[in-house]
A and B are shown apart, each in its own frame.
Chain A
Amino acid sequence: MAIEVRDVNKSFGTTPVLREVSVDVASGSLTALLGPSGGGKSTLLRVIAGLEQPDTGTVRISGVDATRLSPQRRNVGFVFQHYAAFKHLSVFRNVAFGLEIRKRPKDEIRKRVMELLELVHLEKMADRYPSQLSGGQRQRMALARALAVEPEVLLLDEPFGALDAQVRKELRTWLRRLHDEVHVTTVFVTHDQEEAIEVADTIVVLANGEVVQVGSPADVYDNPANPFVMRFLGPVTEIGGSLVRPHDIEISVDPIEGGTPATVSRVVRLGFEVRVEVEVGGQEAWVQVTREFADRLGLEPGDAVVVRPAPGARSLALSAV
């Protein structure tokens, strides 16, 4: 294990932010800490980096107990949400910082920094200052700076949080590819479930300072541990007292076995997908179907239909919780 967090508790004043948190991060993995804001995920990342001290519990990095080590001695790469670019240093000197602190020879520093700048596509920006870079470029510089010291683990706090939607999507794909190239154990914090599912190979869901579920993206999406995780990871709707994914519901004009009668209240066409809003037993629900399927049925508001969860679909009984 690259990182082992055990029974960590942390409070700010009287407000608990982490409760009995235990997380394992496998070497070479790309792990997302996912959860709503205020769920404790950034604090957990900062505890791993040593920027916050846990009240109780331990943190081991590469098998070594790091709980009382200062951030200076943990050899982690940390990328801050707002990059924490050294404003008075050029891009080159920013990336070289950790190596200069370690007193590496000049030419070695030069070589390594240029390699990294190439890796993050900033080789032409070496002499610029952070204020002359775009948000995405600053993010990549911060990443190169963190990677320069060959950290045991790379920690990213909301790495794409401050970027606009377009750049965000590009950087996600790029981060995935970068990880495939560099293979450094990486943990990143995000509140965006799509980002976590797309980029990570393991997702840790945190809510109210507790680990709610750990698993692969598919696992967490398909077998949510509780309604909260299910709601957080994707769209849900409620039929017959159960939470179901709207694309996991069958809708038919003819009677089907185990079906519940419903009335179509609205049909919304969203490009390829069609959202059919229905009333089931006095409650609003919705079903996601393809355009082709909707055209075939020719649904209109007021039509009587039958709905049921698709065979094999995951559903969570709300009453059970």
Chain B
Amino acid sequence: MNELSDSLSGKVPKLNRLFKFQFEPAQDCYVLLFPEGMVKLNPSASEILLQVNGERTISDIIDALLTKFPDAEGLGEDVFAFFEHAEEKRWINYV
């Protein structure tokens, strides 16, 4: 475990109330909507955000994703990197 994962794994992320997360059929992807704007999400980011419910810790989320995608390599690191990015973008904050 590195410094980043140590500081994050016990945290409980929730979606920032400024953002709405939904699937867009016309774009064929999940998006984040906010006042007058939209971010298209790639499949990995979407899978991670689908696990965010304001109750699960980041390690719970990693466990859930490992069950769903047992062959994914480096999944934990990807999840930590995503949350670092998501906090910077203000998509999520911590309970």
- Genuine A/B complex: no
A residues sitting closer than 8 Å to B (CB atoms) are none
